[in-house]
Chain A
Amino acid sequence: MSRLQVVSGKGGTGKTTVAAALALALATEGKRTLLVEVEGRQGIAQLFETEALPYEERKIAVAPGGGEVYALAIDPELALLDYLQMFYKLGGAGRALKKLGAIDFATTVAPGIRDVLLTGKACEAVRRKDKKGRFAYDYVVMDAPPTGRITRFLNVNDEVAGLAKIGPIHNQAQAVMRVLKSPETAVHLVTLLEEMPVQETADGIAELRAARLPVGRVIVNMVRPQVLDAADLELVGTVKRSSVAQALSAAGLGGARRGGNAEKLVDPLLRQAAEYAERYALEQEQRGALGELGLPLGELPLLAEGMDLAGLYELATELRKQGLS
């Protein structure tokens, strides 16, 4: 199992949720994981129902069986100052740089520096060891930028290494790239069974592969339960309205005669079934498209009650059951 698990996905597919559930699942049975956020959205804090995360590794959850999940929201500006201090003892210069707007420049305007800092910090956590020589974290899970930007984000160090041909940034960028392109890393893509996310997933995989970044698996999120099977759906087209009305009436929903309460439900219910059938067919089509990607697939159910902390543990259990963690 790769020690750096990067989770990406189209916006709206629930990648933060999946990343958090994965961190929980990987922490099960006494392990320690670090869940890293790089986009400053405080999605992790909201998911775990805690206050906003500072730039500090902080325990946010206990996993079943005694494991621990730590979380870190990487702030590029602080990461840069941190980095300057760590490697160059430049705390004072850092402040001068900030005054000049150089930090702002470096983290917002300058090409790639921001992304180098973010991936660099995550890789540092992956490689960090304690005094006894054990890894500080068994796994690092990154809630990464969306599919459309993931390859550029992870590959930025290559580009920076090319731009800065010598010097510490060059070395740092190369060191990060060594981790990201090794089997120590796996990039997972979260999708829904809808056309656009699936298309974007396929495009994202092609880009990752072209950049020689290690693709992990595709996780289909928010999979709706199957309510009507193929036989039911076939019957929807042919069934007599009156038989459905009678069945509804027999179930205690009013009269089956024209104008009766049960009878009035027939059309709306059949319409909903037709919508279901249409969506079901589209979902099957997307399943087929995902199957062609040649990657292991995982599936997480749509939680009827919406996402909350309990739901997160449910998803973590599901991930373990499917051997995804």
Chain B
Amino acid sequence: MSPDPAEAQETAEGRGSAKERSSAEGREQGRRLSPARVLDVDPLLDDPKTRIVVCCGSGGVGKTTTAAALGLRAAERGRKVVVLTIDPARRLAQSMGIDSLDNVPRRVKGTEDQGEASGGDAAEGGGGRRAGGELHAMMLDMKRTFDEVVEAHADPERAAAILANPFYQSLSAGFAGTQEYMAMEKLGQLRAKDEWDLIVVDTPPSRSALDFLDAPKRLGSFLDGRLIRLLTAPAKLGGRAGMAFLNVGMSMMTGTLGKLLGGQLLKDVQTFVAAMDTTFGGFRTRADATYKLLQAPGTAFLVVAAPERDALREAAYFVERLAAEEMPLVGLVLNRVHGSDAGRLSAERALAAAENLEDPRIVDQGGGKAGLRNSPESYGSSRSPASETSDASETATDATASEEGSPADTERPVDRLTAGLLRLHADRMQLLAREQRTCDRFTARHPEVAVVEVPALPGDVHDLTGLRDIGTRLAAGATERTDATERREPT
């Protein structure tokens, strides 16, 4: 946790963009997943020009946790942060004090403000905690947000009519798409308030997770569409010359809609649309503004994924969509990456050794050479033959020594346990290999995307300590690679 000052300097200048690392460095032994570019989150969070961080990704990859951890870290590094979460797990929400739905940001208690005003040098290590930071958080209440928009754009009488309309009530209570519109609306509101210098937003768990990008546009095209004009003033349209063909379509349409929806629902919709008419302009302007805000230089998109096939496929899709929409992607956060400090012992060798312990006859073959199959793909296999040979004589003596005491009894609890440890390790190494393959596929497809890996935790995170830990791991992802290499180097 003490980054090389020169390096920190360099990244501070690079403003959160990835630093190129020589691929040979660190890749050989320690780190398993080896993206071409490494994402360094601290410079990104520290940069005053970063105003919005959007965390997107498929469900179940830890988006909300990542957003909360980034927010906490930024706050403890001196920024005034608000985290907008959409659907946090209950205990996480409770720990941040945002489990009550009042749709306004609340200050999160228990964030550490060390008062170390002097520590404000970007090049300084030591956790980088700085004074003056604040963490606020809120959970989106989409109905309330929708109501607020209506109230802001319509006079009280009209607003009351809209809020009482049955069609509006269903629409705002959260049918497909409403959550996305309202998440973006809330983001726009928070940004407009300018009370915070960093907004971290978690995106809704949508069908297709980029619905929140489409939402403003879709709303806009709908509101500009002919359907709205039809619903609001069919007579006006019908009276225009040169629209005869359309006219036929129109009357058929109104008839069809009436037939389909039932007269009363159509009336509800028409009343709603008529009442909303004056507010639509505002809606549309806001939707456009939010979309532009997302494309602006102060916004940073982080795609969150886990090293699993589906999650990374979705991540690749996100990366492509963001590029197509000209949204500023800064990198991929890869959560729950597994590692091993015994990475040089391959799964195959561990299994063979476990079998040796469970079936003692093989042990007699000295050095355990029997069954020591080294897959060429396994980690560290390249160096094992040499160390194995140099170690062999020693092994033989040790083995003999241990056999004197209790001649190879499989029921010996320590042997049983050790065999279990080795099987556990083999499972771990197979998991690593699978994660590696999955990630390689992503990296091959998107070598331009900077990646930061967050090591897996055994349990869930539901307090600030846990979030702080995740934050540390997020930041360490960029520096750990060299440490890990040292730690895992044999000799």
A-side residues, CB < 8 A to B, are 10-13, 39-41, 43, 46, 84, 88, 90, 93, 96-97, 99-102, 104-105, 108-112, 114-115, 145-146, 148, 152, 156, 159, 163-170, 194-197, 199-200, 224-225, 227-228, 231-232, 235-236, 239, 243-244, 246-257, 260-262, 264-265, 267-273, 275-276, 278-279, 282, 304-307
Is there a chain A Cβ closer than 8 Å to B428's Cβ? Answer: yes
Picked from A115, A235, A249, the residue with its CB within 8 Å of the CB of B395 is A249
Number of interface residues of B (CB under 8 A): 96
Binds A, one of B70-78, B259-267, B282-290, B319-327: B259-267
When A and B form their complex, what is the total count of cross-chain residue pairs whose Cβ atoms lie within 8 Å?
A: 270
Binds A, one of B96-104, B222-230, B474-482: B222-230
Q: Indicate if the CB atoms of B257 and A102 lie closer than 8 Å.
A: yes
Could you write out 12 A-B pairs with CB less than 8 Å apart?
A12-B60, A101-B222, A102-B253, A105-B227, A168-B260, A195-B89, A227-B427, A228-B417, A252-B356, A261-B391, A265-B342, A305-B434
Known A-B contacts A112-B175, A227-B427; A251 and B309 likewise in contact (beta carbons under 8 Å): no
B311 — which chain A residues lie within 8 A by C-beta? 12
Picked from A168, A252, A264, the residue with its CB within 8 Å of the CB of B369 is A252
Q: Indicate if the CB atoms of A90 and B372 lie closer than 8 Å.
A: no
Binds A, one of B134-142, B165-173, B291-299: B165-173
Report how far A120 CA is from B483 CA in the complex, Å: 57
B-side residues, CB < 8 A to A, are 58-61, 87, 89-91, 166-167, 170-171, 174-177, 205, 207-208, 218-219, 221-222, 225-227, 230, 249, 252-253, 256-257, 259-265, 268-269, 306, 308-311, 313, 340-342, 345, 349, 352-354, 356-357, 363, 367-369, 372, 387-388, 391, 394-395, 398-399, 401-403, 408, 413-425, 427-428, 430, 434, 438, 458-460, 462, 490
User: Which 8 residue pairs across A and B have the least CB separation, nearest first?
Assistant: A252-B368, A11-B59, A12-B60, A167-B262, A268-B341, A268-B342, A101-B225, A247-B418
Q: Indicate if the CB atoms of A278 and B458 lie closer than 8 Å.
A: yes
Q: Indicate if the CB atoms of B424 and A227 lie closer than 8 Å.
A: yes
Least Cβ distance of A270 to chain B in Å? 7
Q: Indicate if the CB atoms of A279 and B218 lie closer than 8 Å.
A: no
Q: Indicate if the CB atoms of A271 and B219 lie closer than 8 Å.
A: no
Q: Indicate if the CB atoms of B170 and A112 lie closer than 8 Å.
A: yes
Which residue on A lies nearest to B205, using beta carbons?
A11
Known A-B contacts A166-B263, A255-B395; A265 and B207 likewise in contact (beta carbons under 8 Å): no
Q: Indicate if the CB atoms of A105 and B413 lie closer than 8 Å.
A: no
Q: Indicate if the CB atoms of B176 and A251 lie closer than 8 Å.
A: no
A84 — which chain B residues lie within 8 A by C-beta? 256, 260
Report how far A247 CA is from B420 CA in the complex, Å: 12
Picked from A11, A13, A46, A269, the residue with its CB within 8 Å of the CB of B421 is A269
Known A-B contacts A12-B59, A252-B368; A108 and B256 likewise in contact (beta carbons under 8 Å): no
B388 — which chain A residues lie within 8 A by C-beta? 254, 261
Which residue on A lies nearest to B394, using beta carbons?
A255
Least Cβ distance of B307 to chain A in Å? 11
Report how far A146 CA is from B208 CA in the complex, Å: 12
For the complex with contacts A97-B253, A109-B218, 17 further pairs of A-B residues with Cβ separation under 8 Å are: A100-B225, A105-B225, A167-B260, A167-B263, A169-B265, A236-B417, A239-B414, A247-B417, A250-B398, A250-B403, A251-B353, A251-B363, A251-B419, A273-B420, A279-B459, A282-B459, A304-B430
Q: Indicate if the CB atoms of A252 and B395 lie closer than 8 Å.
A: yes
Q: Indicate if the CB atoms of B345 and A265 lie closer than 8 Å.
A: yes
Report how far A115 CA is from B176 CA in the complex, Å: 8
Q: Indicate if the CB atoms of A276 and B259 lie closer than 8 Å.
A: no
Q: Indicate if the CB atoms of B256 and A93 lie closer than 8 Å.
A: yes
Picked from B262, B308, B345, the residue with its CB within 8 Å of the CB of A253 is B345
